[in-house]
Structure 1
Amino acid sequence: MRASTVGSPPLPSSAITRRKLATLIAAVPILGACVSARAGSDYYAGPVSDHFDGSRFFNPGGDGPRPFTDLLRWQLTESRTAWPESFPSPHPQDSPPARVEGKALRVSFAGHATFLIQGAGLNIITDPVFSDRASPFSFYGPKRVNAPGIDFGRLPRIDVVLLSHGHYDHMDVDTLRRLWERDRPRILAPLGNDVILRGHHPGMVVEAMDWHARRDLGAGVAASLEPVHHWSARGLFDRNHALWGGFVLTGIGDGIFFAGDTGFDQGRPFRRVAERHPGLGLALLPIGAYEPRWFMAPQHMNPDDAVQGFQLLGAHQALGYHWGTFNLTNEGVDSPAQDLATALAAKGIEPARFLAAQPGLVWTNAAT
């Protein structure tokens, strides 16, 4: 793994110890191991399935989330590469058009896992997070090191929100409230996440979906929820009481796969998507928050995993996200981009086909 070229000078041991303790406190809400503000009994209830045991969801044939003891081991015994307080994007903030019609596709990156997808006259946003922190606390927890690539006030009217799962760096209830109050978009989310959101905003309408469910979005566009290898929690008492997933959009561009969060899981998520939705044009794949591998491998891909997933999907283009905005794990702020370049070179893939997205990046299908 290549060392980061962006960081801070070495810290004295006492400062490192204080930072580790502070980082543990910060990591707890992100990994869903803190006491949630809504810990209680209002969880999803539904029939048993191949990924739901009547109480909790699980990855069929795959690893579950790491126990809290492993979280303590990671945070208190391992070193982290220091991040800078600011890591500005080279791209200016985007000013999206009101609509993109027809077969044209415009994808703008706001940061972390938030993409604005425009095509077929629809405006679709993924895992919208516009808050300063990915945390249940406004005053503590991982803080942005760059501004959103789209100012919230410049977002066009949003028609559809796609939520992949309930971790704090993907489900930002304050941003969702703002979008709901402004635009009343359709909100699609895996089973159980509707319960979480109604607990915060009782009037919010959320369409809960199981794996392989499909929703017609109009204009010939449809969204399907696909299995990925992850987990969910927002507190000590709600681990895996809500489902997770990725989304495939068809009828827009040449088709899009948004993976949400996922481990590589021997490539199974990508083989399944390729079988059900062959010939997709664009893959949105996470490439960050992957160190240390002994802890993160079941839940987050590293860039080499993501490149393998891209190959299995057979997509024409990929954009890498989930890096360089919130300091969640041990790798340096720019390590994912460096490691992606290494992985692409090793597999002989043209770098332009898989870009490490930074806030403000705009990709269109004009050249495809």
Structure 2
Amino acid sequence: METRRASRQSSSPAERAGALAGRTGPGNPYYSGPPSDHFDGQKFFNPNGLPPGSFRDLLRWQTGGGRSKWPANWPSPHAAARPAERIDGGALRLTMVGHSTLLIQIAGLNILTDPVWSDRVSPLSFAGPKRVNAPGIRFDDLPRIDAVLVSHNHYDHLDLATLKRLQIGHDPLFVTPLGNDALIRTAAPGARVSVHDWDENVRVGDGAVVHLEPVHHWSARGTRDRRMALWCGFVVETAAGKIFFAGDTGFHDGTPYSRLASRHGEMRLAILPIGAYEPRWFMEPQHQNPEEAVSGMMLCNAAYAAGCHWGTFHLTNEPIDEPREKLFAALAAQGIAREKFRPMLPGEVWDVPEIG
């Protein structure tokens, strides 16, 4: 059942300002709503979970050393892909663009996850984490995009410049959790945005449904808006199978994955973060490591998994290729074949087998 409707925002600046003022509360620039088991009236939180580190913790990490040096350029072995216009029948094709941006082609739909085509993931155009490899699909080579899943508002997942380009060139349906619509509408007036709480869903095509699922993370665009917009993962339910895209998540004792299994049953594919996990004392609540990603794959009953959130932007301390090495070691320890869980690189295309 669709619980919130997609809508078009007026292109009038005055009307946009008025609409935004009418739906945000004191101290929260993004969202106003009743308290719940994950919203206290001003900020969102992880039920029974750990909060993100404090500013003091951030300074301790940034000044504590231990950050591995990454190459300025780390080209993918795969050439930029030129996707088909549509993939029909029971097929599922996954193409890696970079970091957490992937093109999902299934059941005649083209879906992008957390799209970023900008060179940097930062509030500044001249500083901050910069790409070490080119996007695995040139923007102009994209097929017509039907839906865009935006999991939360961190800069490496919500890139306003890219969302604006997508709105102008493709007019997709943007699906996002509470509060993030305020950012999207400001950058892309006229965008179709379907905004939801956890456990809500929306139809994105003939028979396809996107479910918003709890994950263990947080949000912020600056120093004064921490946890004021919601974060989520997504389950894309189609006639050709179910796909889980986690966005960003800490493992949280496996809670997000166990919950998925009880709600949705078997997954054909899970798209899971495997990078940005060191140092563990700081990153553990928000970013799982490769060993935890393998456990997550097993807990949510995913037949296959794709590793993302590694090898494109230098965000944390681990070496650039360590997530892949640790993933392979974790798979071996569990007796899982490497072809079941691919750490994908830009331009890589995977025709994911059908289940059974």
TM-score (norm 2): 0.90
Is the 1:168–1:234 contact (alpha carbons within 8 Å) kept by the matching residues of 2? Answer: yes
Q: How far does residue 140 in structure 1 lie from its aligned partner after superposition?
A: 0.9
Is the 1:224–1:248 contact (alpha carbons within 8 Å) kept by the matching residues of 2? Answer: yes
Is the 1:248–1:255 contact (alpha carbons within 8 Å) kept by the matching residues of 2? Answer: yes
> Which residue matches 1:14?
none
Out of 236, 255, 260, the position equivalent to 1:273 is 260
Q: What is the SS of the residue equivalent to 1:206? A: strand
> Which residue matches 1:344?
331
Out of 56, 60, 71, the position equivalent to 2:47 is 60
Out of 98, 103, 126, the position equivalent to 1:139 is 126
> Which residue matches 1:22?
none
Following TM superposition, the consecutive aligned residue runs of length 4 or more in structure 1 with deviations greater than 6 angstroms are none
Residues 1:302 and 2:272 aligned together:
no
> Which residue matches 1:254?
241
> Which residue matches 1:71?
58
Supply the AA of the counterpart residue of 2:163: L
> Which residue matches 2:91?
104
1:277-327: CA deviations, max 9, x gaps?
101110000000000000000000100010010110111000000000000
Is the 2:194–2:202 contact (alpha carbons within 8 Å) kept by the matching residues of 1? Answer: no
Q: How far does residue 366 in structure 1 lie from its aligned partner after superposition?
A: 4.4
> Which residue matches 1:37?
none
Supply the AA of the counterpart residue of 2:147: V
Equivalent runs, 1:19-98 vs 2, <5 Å: 41-98=28-85
Rounded to whole Å, the distance in 2 between the matches of 1:252 and 1:89 is 33
**Percent identity of the aligned residues?**
56
Q: How far does residue 351 in structure 1 lie from its aligned partner after superposition?
A: 1.0
1:107-129: CA deviations, max 9, x gaps?
11101001101121111100000
Rounded to whole Å, the distance in 1 between the matches of 2:55 and 2:137 is 36
Rounded to whole Å, the distance in 2 between the matches of 1:108 and 1:168 is 21
Aligned pairs, how many? Answer: 329
Q: How far does residue 202 in structure 1 lie from its aligned partner after superposition?
A: 3.5
Q: How far does residue 42 in structure 1 lie from its aligned partner after superposition?
A: 2.5
Is the 2:268–2:354 contact (alpha carbons within 8 Å) kept by the matching residues of 1? Answer: no
Is the 2:161–2:187 contact (alpha carbons within 8 Å) kept by the matching residues of 1? Answer: no
Residues 1:182 and 2:169 aligned together:
yes
Q: How far does residue 204 in structure 1 lie from its aligned partner after superposition?
A: 2.6
Rounded to whole Å, the distance in 2 between the matches of 1:225 and 1:41 is 22
Residues 1:124 and 2:111 aligned together:
yes
Is the 1:247–1:259 contact (alpha carbons within 8 Å) kept by the matching residues of 2? Answer: yes
Supply the AA of the counterpart residue of 1:363: W
Rounded to whole Å, the distance in 1 between the matches of 2:175 and 2:228 is 17
TM-score (norm 1): 0.88
> Which residue matches 1:313?
300
Rounded to whole Å, the distance in 1 between the matches of 2:293 and 2:231 is 18
Unaligned runs of 5+ in 2: 1-26
Rounded to whole Å, the distance in 1 between the matches of 2:323 and 2:227 is 28
Is the 1:253–1:365 contact (alpha carbons within 8 Å) kept by the matching residues of 2? Answer: no
1:211-266: CA deviations, max 9, x gaps?
01011112211000000000000011111110000000111532100000000000
Is the 1:128–1:175 contact (alpha carbons within 8 Å) kept by the matching residues of 2? Answer: yes
Q: How far does residue 138 in structure 1 lie from its aligned partner after superposition?
A: 1.4
1:30-72: CA deviations, max 9, x gaps?
xxxxxxxxxx753200111100111110000000111010000
Rounded to whole Å, the distance in 2 between the matches of 1:157 and 1:340 is 33
Q: Which moved more, 1:177-186 or 1:250-259?
A: 250-259
Rounded to whole Å, the distance in 2 between the matches of 1:74 and 1:366 is 41
Q: What is the SS of the residue equivalent to 1:189? A: strand
Rounded to whole Å, the distance in 2 between the matches of 1:333 and 1:87 is 9
Supply the AA of the counterpart residue of 1:276: R
Equivalent runs, 1:186-201 vs 2, <5 Å: 186-201=173-188
Is the 1:94–1:149 contact (alpha carbons within 8 Å) kept by the matching residues of 2? Answer: yes
Is the 1:105–1:252 contact (alpha carbons within 8 Å) kept by the matching residues of 2? Answer: no
> Which residue matches 1:243?
230
Supply the AA of the counterpart residue of 1:117: I
Distance 1:317 1:269, change over 3 A: same
**What is the alpha-carbon root mean square deviation over aligned residues?**
1.1
